[in-house]
Amino acid sequence: MRVRVFITQPVAARAIARLREVADVGLNTDPLHIPGKDELLAAARGHDILFCLLHDRIDRDVVNANDKLRMIASMTITPADIDTQAATARRLPVSVIPAALLNDATADHAWALMFAVGRRIAEADRLVRAGIIPGSQSNYLAASGISGKTLGLVGLGGIGRAVAQRARGFPLNVIYHDPRRLPAAEEQTLGIRWVAFDELLTAADYVSLHANLSTQTRHLIGERELRLMKPTAYLINTSRGPIVDERALVSALTERRIAGAGLDVFENEPGIDPALLGLPNTVITPHMGSAVEALRAAMADAVVDNILAVLDGRQPPNCWNKEIYAG
């Protein structure tokens, strides 16, 4: 009997075809539907492997729904919505994808958000579609701009570095904060300067977040930090939603204590605070930093590589809970 794999949301056709060569594949074909718990329980009970995406909540009940479940293969960098402890207790491999895959696309998206808020692109688009066209030299849409500003990068992993590399094409002052400071030669190559966290917040015109989500970084940006930022500054978040205290951010934006925000991630995804949606000084996208066709295909292929390894009796190349293979 062939192994049964369930794909919780549509992925690249090439990856599905690869799986169908070795397995019976079931899938949710609706790209706008995120399966609920009952659907995930049914999928786990009727299949041997779950191929899941970012917003699928694979809790303890789902993990334990089928004692013949062989693997949870996630198309995420960190399995934040998977009960990895429950999976590990069952010696069930949980696989992820390499973080480096997302560096360039997410860095591009961070820059897109900076331009969208810094040049009021989204706001202008809404006005034109509503039939409101200010004179071409009207001050109505005068914006902060990008050139000549200070960009502050919080976190300098792969994505943060990719953002810094792109900044070299602009006349910008780039500062960064990361607990692990780069060697001086690398700072010079990237054209960046390390500063203390609070100094970055007070100096930057754009604060772009690229830290990993952990217990230490949850609500890294809260009421205190937002009050340190300039009233003319913008917050850009393409990392993880819970790094920002969303309630504090709504207050800061509503009271114009900061100029605006470009957000691709949210504290309670896939839900978005309705207050954010009603603010004109925000640009909001639905966690689409990796939404590039070739990249999404590569991400899905990485998941398939992990699945094929397990079917071949090997440790998946991107195993989150490697300890189950110890000894």
pLDDT in the model for residue 1: 77
256 and 154 together in one domain? yes
89 and 105 together in one domain? no
Domain with 184, as residue range(s), is 101-284
pLDDT in the model for residue 38: 97
230 and 256 together in one domain? yes
Which tens digit of pLDDT belongs to each residue from 71-90? 999 999 999 899 999 999 99
Structure tokens at 117: 């808020």
- How far are the Cα atoms of 7, 240, 271 from residue 51, in angstroms, in the given order? 5, 22, 22
Question: What angle (nearest 5°) sits at the alpha carbon of residue 271, between those of residues 265 and 274?
Answer: 95
- For 228, residues 6+ apart whose C-beta sits below 8 A from its C-beta are 198, 201, 202
DSSP per-residue letters across 20-39: HTTEEEEE---TT----HHH
21 and 82 together in one domain? yes
Tell me: cis bond preceding 270? Omega within 30 of 0 counts: yes
Which tens digit of pLDDT belongs to each residue from 110-121? 999 999 999 999
Residues 118-140 have a mean pLDDT of: 92
Strand order across the 150-154 sheet: 192-194, 173-177, 150-154, 206-209, 234-237, 260-263, 282-284
Among 109, 111, 123, CA closest to 206:
111
> Which positions are catalytic?
240, 269, 287
230 and 116 together in one domain? yes
24: left (phi over 0), alpha (psi -120 to 50) or beta: beta
Q: Distance between CA atoms of 224 and 232, rounded to whole angstroms?
A: 17
Into how many domains does the chain fold?
A: 2
- For 232, residues 6+ apart whose C-beta sits below 8 A from its C-beta are 144, 205, 259
Q: What is the pTM of this model?
A: 0.94
136 and 247 together in one domain? yes
Strands 206-209 and 150-154: parallel
DSSP annotation of 236 reads: E
Mean pLDDT of the chain: 96
pLDDT in the model for residue 135: 83
Q: Distance between CA atoms of 195 and 174, rounded to whole angstroms?
A: 10
State yes or no: pLDDT of 267 exceeds 90: yes
pLDDT in the model for residue 150: 98
233 and 173 together in one domain? yes
177 and 310 together in one domain? no
221 and 122 together in one domain? yes
34 and 175 together in one domain? no
150 and 258 together in one domain? yes
Cβ(237)–Cβ(263) below 8 Å: yes
Among 150, 152, 257, 254, CA closest to 198:
152
State yes or no: pLDDT of 32 exceeds 80: yes
State yes or no: pLDDT of 207 exceeds 80: yes
pLDDT cut 90: percent of the chain above it = 96
Residues 243-258 have a mean pLDDT of: 97
State yes or no: pLDDT of 325 exceeds 90: yes
Helix (H) or strand (E) holding 299: helix 293-311
Residues 155-172 have a mean pLDDT of: 96
Which tens digit of pLDDT belongs to each residue from 176-197? 999 999 999 999 999 999 999 9
73 and 106 together in one domain? no
Cβ(25)–Cβ(14) below 8 Å: no
- How far are the Cα atoms of 122, 155, 164, 179 from residue 182, in angstroms, in the given order? 35, 11, 13, 9
Q: Where are the alpha helices (DSSP H) in 192-242?
A: 197-203, 223-228
Q: Residue 38 sits in a domain of what CATH number? A: 3.40.50.720
- For 187, residues 6+ apart whose C-beta sits below 8 A from its C-beta are 181, 193, 194
- Torsion, Cα of 183, 184, 190, 195 (10° steps): 90
pLDDT in the model for residue 25: 98
- Torsion, Cα of 161, 163, 166, 171 (10° steps): -110
- Torsion, Cα of 136, 137, 143, 149 (10° steps): 120
Cβ(270)–Cβ(245) below 8 Å: no
pLDDT in the model for residue 77: 94
pLDDT in the model for residue 14: 97
